[in-house]
């Protein structure tokens, strides 16, 4: 599965419009539409904003895993030592 399909699936699950998502992550509506329709790819900042907005891990958005859960911060993964 690709990023556009994942975004559309997540958006529909949350019953959000493309405009609501674009506004929430502070990008132009057309920019979001291009990402979802796979006419373009998001920059890294937008990509992470989308993952945060949908509360999924970045690999899920990329289609590299079926696991949606966000990963804990690195400090938590290493037993809380910074």
Model confidence pLDDT, tens digit, residues 6-56: 999 999 999 999 999 999 999 999 999 999 999 999 999 999 999 999 999
Confidence at residue 82, expressed as pLDDT on a 0 to 100 scale: 46
Contact 67, 61 (CB under 8 A): no
Q: How far is Cα 30 from Cα 22, in angstroms, rounded to an integer?
A: 8
pTM: 0.81
Percent over 90 (pLDDT), the chain:
72
Average pLDDT, the chain: 88
**pLDDT of 81 strictly over 70:** no
């Amino acid at each position: 599965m690709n990023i556009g399909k994942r975004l559309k699936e997540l958006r529909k699950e949350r019953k959000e419009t493309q405009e609501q998502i674009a506004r929430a992550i502070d990008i132009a509506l057309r920019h979001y539409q291009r990402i979802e329709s796979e006419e373009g790819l998001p920059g890294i900042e937008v990509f992470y904003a989308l993952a945060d907005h949908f509360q999924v891990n970045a690999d899920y958005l990329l289609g590299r895993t079926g696991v949606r859960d966000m990963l804990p911060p690195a400090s938590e993964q290493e037993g809380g030592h910074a």
